[in-house]
Amino acid sequence: MLMQEITTKKLAGEALTPEEIEFAVGGFTEGSVPDYQMSALLAAICAKGMTAEETYVLTECMKSSGQVLDLSFIRGVKLDKHSTGGVGDKTSLVLVPLIAASRGKVVKMSGRSLGYTGGTIDKLESIPGFRTDLTREEMIAVADKVGCVISGQTAEIAPADKKMYALRDVTGTVSSIPLIASSIMSKKLASGADIILLDVKVGSGAFMKTREQALELAQTMVDIGKRAGKKVAAILTSMDVPLGNAVGNSLEVIEAVETLSGRGPGDFADICVMLAAYMVAMKDGREPGKCIYEIMDRLYDGTAKAKLRAMVEAQGGDPTYIDDTSKFPKAKYRVPVKAPQDGYLGQIDTHLVGLAAQAAGAGRKTKDEPIDHSAGIVLENDGEKRFKKGDVIATVHASSPEKAKEAEEILLSALSFSPNEYERMPLLMDAIFEQEETKGPEIKFTCK
């Protein structure tokens, strides 16, 4: 086969055969297909799309390019969760121990932050000693003993995706539903879980800005999972405002622990319980609404918090930081941001809020850039509160006055004020559960 002929075929709008896709992915991974030829094919896919069959074959080729974890040594049903990323999204820190407390086994591999969205691994590494470089054997041992484990992604998992994503990032070929879906699902399928929940974010702080885009991505990923013989559901959740109040690594860990102690922000607690209800429902073969009270019991009786503590200890971290979050180092400069006018918080550019936290030192522009675990932003994120000019609406945490000033300026540009309460998108926008689309929120409750 010749790569130029495969690319020409795709540019003509024709579907590629499994053999052609395998040739392209395998050749690029092993080095016989050069970057420029793969770049041309990726551009053609962006322009012409892929059928469901092509997208599934691409996913399987990427998954099979490396190690596929065998989790059969872990007793019980193995679950995994993936979020498409957002600002203040520390959901895994609550959801993973919450599922473990509900008799599930969660094996999750996560990544680091790049740009304005935070990475779960960076957040957990703000706990002294916490190890994110576990071997497969260590991951299985922790999951079997504690019920949950969160580790970094290994180089052996879907190496084709790693190479292809790096190329997409520098060639402007990121925005393609088949390429996004295959990238996510190749790693999820290689991770070995029986049940996968996909949290697809929608809004100004998400990669998918509209419900229609998010629903297409969600359906594509669910279809891939169904073809692979996995039980997969996708939930569309709002990211038109930061999730919770804290944006920044140790600040988000503290907020997650507060939530597991029954004192977290209502919107964040709601999302965690909602997602957990869907995961438990898939595990037990029940309706999500019938799992709510069990999940809330685990959230408020301390069981889930005990699971987080046990996971931290099993992965080498200091569990006393879960007992007493005041032990986390504080930023040298904590600068209050004041309302420039009277009114309710209106539309928020969540992307800019993430950039503000990055400017404070909480994010990185390159994968090797160090981050300040204590840096970030804590918002007074209450849509029901009317602020007066001069009221504190947020606090910037930074290591220098210059970083704090830059973060404050970006943050103020992200916020608007309204004379009336601003109607925000619902937390749960759509669900694809048991391969069926359910429009509108199925679960209505509050954890406040």
Concerning whether 283 is annotated as a catalytic residue, the answer is no
Average pLDDT across the chain, whole number:
90
Higher pLDDT, 273 or 207: 273
pLDDT tens per residue across span 10-31: 999 999 999 999 999 999 999 9
Q: Where are the alpha helices (DSSP H) in 70-135?
A: 91-100, 120-124
At 155 the pLDDT is: 74
226/209 same-domain check:
yes
| Domain hosting residue 250, numbered range | 78-324+426-439
Q: Is 376 helix (H, G, I), strand (E, B) or coil?
A: strand
pLDDT greater than 90 at residue 366: no
> 375: domain CATH number?
3.90.1170.30
**In the annotation, is 351 catalytic?**
no
CATH number for the domain harbouring residue 307: 3.40.1030.10
Q: Phi and psi (nearest 5°) for 102? A: -105, 30
Cβ burial of 220 (10 Å; 0-12, 13-18, 19+) is buried
Distance separating alpha carbons of residues 99 and 304, to the nearest angstrom:
8
Instruction: Report the percentage of the chain scoring pLDDT > 70.
Output: 94
What b/e string do you get for 242-269 counting C-beta neighbours within 10 Å, with b at 16 or more?
A: bbbbbbbbbbbbbbbbbbbeeebbebbb
131 is an active site residue: no
| Catalytic-residue membership of 168 | yes
Residue 385, domain member (yes or no): yes
Smallest Cα–Cα separation from 347: which of 244, 240, 419, 426?
240
Quick one: 123 and 196 in the same domain? yes
The active-site residue out of 10, 81, 90, 168 is 168
Say whether pLDDT at 381 is over 80: no
List the strands of the sheet with 105-110, edge to edge: 148-152, 105-110, 78-83, 195-202, 231-238, 428-433, 436-439
Percent of the chain with pLDDT over 90: 70
- pLDDT value of position 444: 40
Q: What is the 8-class DSSP label of residue 219?
A: H
Please check whether residue 338 lies inside any domain of the structure: yes
In sign, the C-alpha dihedral spanning 222, 200, 265, 240 is negative
Judged against a pLDDT cut of 70, whether residue 446 lies above it is answered with no
Within this chain, do residues 316 and 233 fall inside the same structural domain, yes or no? Answer: yes
For residue range 397-444, what is the model confidence (pLDDT) as tens digits? 999 999 999 999 999 999 999 898 888 888 888 999 864 443 433 444
What is the number of domains present in the chain? 3
For residue 350, which of 89, 6, 12, 8 has the smallest C-alpha distance?
89
Residue 377 clears pLDDT 90, i.e. is over it = yes
Tell me the β-bridge partners of 202. Answer: 208, 238
More confident residue, 370 or 434: 370
Tell me the per-residue pLDDT of 185-206, one tens digit each, with 9 for 90 and over: 999 999 999 999 999 999 888 8
**Calpha distance 262→382 (Å, rounded):** 18
**The predicted structure's pLDDT at residue 440:** 38
Which of 90, 187, 201, 298 is flagged as catalytic?
A: 187
| The pLDDT value given to residue 437 | 40
Mean pLDDT, residues 100-115: 83
Decide: 383 and 242 in contact? Cβ < 8 Å. Answer: no
Query: Is residue 270 among the annotated active site residues?
Result: no
**Inside any domain, residue 71:** no
Residue 445 lies in a domain: no
Q: Are residues 261 and 392 in the same domain?
A: no
User: Do 315 and 343 lie in a common domain?
Assistant: no
Asked whether residue 369 is domain-assigned, the answer is yes
Band (pLDDT 50/70/90 cuts) for residue 119 is confident
Question: Do residues 91 and 174 share a domain?
Answer: yes
Pair 106, 159 in one domain = yes
* pLDDT in the model for residue 367: 60
Query: 66 in a domain, yes or no?
Result: no
pLDDT at site 395: 97
Cβ-based burial of 210 (10 A; exposed 0-12, middle 13-18, buried ≥19)? exposed
Q: Looking at residue 447, what is its pLDDT?
A: 37
Quick one: 15 and 101 in the same domain? no
Beta bridge partners of 432: 234, 437
**261 and 345, same domain (yes or no):** no
Q: Which of 183, 204, 238, 374 is catalytic?
A: 183
- Whether the per-residue pLDDT at 120 is higher than 50: the answer is yes
Residues 316 and 366 in one domain: no
Three-class SS of 251-289 = HHHHHHHHHHCCCCCHHHHHHHHHHHHHHHHHHHCCCHH
Q: What pLDDT, in 10s, does the model give residues 285-335?
A: 889 989 999 999 999 999 999 999 999 999 999 999 999 999 999 999 999
Give me the mean pLDDT over the 245-266 stretch.
94
Q: Which of 378, 377, 397, 379 is nearest to 330 (CA)?
A: 397
Cβ–Cβ < 8 Å for 202, 209: yes
* Catalytic residue of the set 161, 240, 349, 372: 161
Q: Does some domain include residue 54?
A: no
User: Do residue 288 and residue 373 come from a single domain?
Assistant: no
Of residues 446 and 354, more confidence is placed in: 354
Total-model pTM: 0.88
Q: What is the CATH number of the domain that holds 10?
A: 1.20.970.10
Residue 386 gets which letter from DSSP?
A: E
- Which of the four pLDDT bands, split at 50, 70 and 90, describes residue 136? confident
**Is the pLDDT confidence value at 384 over 80?**
no
User: Which residue is associated with the tokens 């041309």?
Assistant: 40
With b for 16 or more beta-carbon neighbours within 10 A and e for fewer, the 119-150 pattern comes to: bbbbbbbbbeebbbebebebbbbbbbebbbbb
Q: Which residue among the candidates 10, 81, 82, 305 is catalytic per the annotation?
A: 82
Inter-residue contact 292 to 277 (CB < 8 Å): yes
Do 259 and 224 reside in the same domain of the chain? yes
Q: Is residue 91 part of a domain?
A: yes
Say what the pLDDT of residue 425 is: 84
